[in-house]
Amino acid sequence: MTWFDSRIVTAEPRVAETFASKTPLPLVVALGSNLEDRLSHLRSGLESLDGRGVHIEAVSRVFETPPVGYIQQPRFYNIAALARTRLPPSRLLSIFKSVEDEAGRRRDFRNGPRTRDVDLNLLGDMIDREEV
């Protein structure tokens, strides 16, 4: 595996509340869908993110997974995307919610079916101090 860098870097992560970045930071975004045209929801979600300051660099293949939590629903299609951005976490989360809403996302109950789900998995070396 030539792409794996085994060097260990020790650094103090930045706290999200003190975010300031002049250079684009790497981020990993996860998208999922289990309603309607799942592939179309994933594809258009990526396009929407790419047009809002989240510059998509690479996308995983599509994984089909069973639902978690509430299991009486269709299986999910999921992808992960590597991207770069200068946007702060609070702005990213606002954009992600908007991208979900564009697909008709309903939040009727936790772990319910969804047309599109967009999650921030990693942003540079940040730690989010908010409780999930």
CA distance 11 to 48: 33
Query: Quick one: pLDDT at residue 21?
Result: 65
Specify whether the CB–CB gap between 19 and 99 falls below 8 A: no
Query: Quick one: pLDDT at residue 14?
Result: 58
Query: Quick one: pLDDT at residue 44?
Result: 97
Query: Residue 24 corresponds to which amino acid?
Result: P
Query: Quick one: pLDDT at residue 58?
Result: 96
Name every residue whose Cβ is closer than 8 Å to that of residue 31 and which is 6 or more positions away in sequence: 41, 42, 45, 46, 78, 79, 80, 81, 116, 117, 118, 119
Q: Along the 132 residues of the chain, how does pLDDT read in single tens digits? A: 344 444 555 555 555 555 566 789 999 999 999 999 999 999 999 999 998 999 999 999 999 999 999 999 999 999 999 999 999 999 999 999 999 999 999 999 999 999 999 999 999 887 665 544
